[in-house]
Structure formats: structure tokens, C-alpha cells
Homo-oligomer: A and B are copies of this chain.
């Protein structure tokens, strides 16, 4: 049961770091040093976030990344969608015609419910909330 992958985790950490730098454009090498994430991997991640409209980028010397959205609008659920694909609820293995007994569909209902709740909670976690809860000191 691995709710989020490394991609998503790294992305969230990077976004938190960037958010804490306010309007400063943050280059990848700086994040690599601060977060200990393999450089090429982090580069790919932030590039994706750029394409997805979560980060804005600037090239050249002094370039880097900054948030394209307000910290309270960057939700964990969005990152999960971006890096782990669209969340497929209710994809019945037996395509509804076969489903041999009611019990199995009860199973689907249960699991869908659990996933739905998890999603709702992922939706509530934003980088604003993480930074706030963190009470960081540096």
C-alpha cells in the first residue's frame, strides 16, 4: 500500500522549498543541494510541473523556477494525478456483465469508498498547509 510515489514526494518537497523562497527564482542546483534529490531526476520533475502550470520557469543565468499558483492552491491530489496518473475509481475487472455474485460488487463499493475518502484528504493537503504546519525555523 504505497499511496504516493517518489515522484510525487519529491515534487511536493521541491514545491515547499520554492514556496518558502517567495518570489525568488530558484535554480535546480540549489534545490539539489538543499533537498538531496538526484539532479537529473529533479530536473525532470520540475520540468513536468512547469508544463502542468504549477511552476513558472525562466532560462539563462539567474533563471530557475517559481510558483505559478498560490501555495494554498497547490494540492497533493493534483500532484498525485500528475505523477501517478488519473485516479481510476470503479474500474470493474469483470466488465459488469460477468460479475458473478453481489459480494464482489460490494467489494468494489467498499474499495471505491476508501479511495474516494483518501482522495478527498489528498485534496485538502496543500503546500500552504504543509509550510504552515511545519513551523520551520531557518
Contacts and interface: CB of A to CB of B under 8 A. Distances in A.
A119 B118 CA distance: 11
Nearest to A80: B1
Contacts of A122: 114
Given A20-B101, A103-B127, A103-B131, 5 more contacts: A1-B84, A36-B100, A101-B138, A102-B136, A110-B130
Contacts of A109: 133
- What is the copy number of this chain in the assembly? 2
A91 to B, nearest CB: 9
A76 B115 CA distance: 14
Contact of A130 (B84, B103, B138): B103
Interface in A120-138: 121-122, 125, 127, 129-131, 133-138
A115 B3 contact: yes
Contacts of A113: 121
Nearest to A125: B110
